Amino acid sequence: MGTLAIGAGLAMAGAALGIGIGQGFAVGKGLEGMSRQPELSGKIQTSMIVGMAIMETIGVLAFVISIMLTGKIG
Amino acid sequence: MSVEELGPRVILNLCGGKLQITESTLGCIIVAFVLAIVFIYLGSGLKEVPKGKQIWAELIVEKIYGLTEENMGKENLWFAPYVGTLFSFILIGSALGLIGIRPITADVNVTFALSILTFLIIQFFGWKTHGFKGKIKEMCDPYPFMFPLKIIEDCTLPVSLGFRLYGNILGGMVIVDLWLGLMTKLSNYLTTIPFLRFATALPLNGFFDMFEPVIQTFIFTMLTMTFLAIALRKEEN
Q: What is the ipTM of this complex?
A: 0.71
Low-confidence spans in chain B with pLDDT less than 50: 1-4, 237
Chain A residue numbers with beta carbons less than 8 Å from the beta carbon of B160 are 57, 61
Return the exposure string of B117-154: e unless at least 16 CB atoms fall within 10 Å of the residue's CB, then b: ebbebbeeebeeebeeeebeeebeeeeeeeeeeeeeeb
Question: What's the confidence (pLDDT) of residue A23?
Answer: 92
pLDDT band at A43 (very low <50, low <70, confident <90, very high): confident
B171 has a chain A CB within 8 A of its CB: yes
Indicate if the pLDDT at residue A59 is higher than 50: yes
| Element housing B136 (H / E) | helix B108-139
What is the DSSP secondary-structure string of B152-212?
Answer: HHHHHHHHHHHHHHHHHHHHHHHHHHHHHHHHHHHHHTT-SS-GGGTTTTHHHHIIIIIIH
Q: Cβ–Cβ of A60/B163 closer than 8 Å?
A: yes
pLDDT for B202 equals 85
Judge whether A9 is closer than 8 Å to chain B, CB to CB. Answer: no
Say whether residue B164 is in contact with chain A using an 8 A CB cutoff. yes
CA B98, CA B91: separation in Å to the nearest integer? 12
List CB contacts (< 8 A) between A53 and chain B: 164, 215-216, 219, 223
Helices (H), B10-107: 23-43, 53-72, 80-94
Is the pLDDT at A29 greater than 90? The verdict is yes
The residue among B82, B93, B91 whose CA lies nearest residue B124 is B82
pTM, two decimals, is 0.83
What is the pLDDT of chain A when averaged over all its residues? 87
Chain A: nearest CA to B81, how far in angstroms?
22
Count how many Cα atoms sit within 13 Å of the Cα of residue B207 in the half-sphere of its side chain: 10
Cβ B106 vs Cβ B173: under 8 Å = yes
- Predicted pLDDT of residue B2: 43
Candidates B160, B173, B178: best to mutate against A (most CBs of A within 10 A) is B160
User: What pLDDT score was predicted for residue B236?
Assistant: 55
Between A and B, how many residue pairs show a Cβ–Cβ distance under 8 A?
A: 38
Nearest Cβ partner of B160 from A57, A67, A71? A57
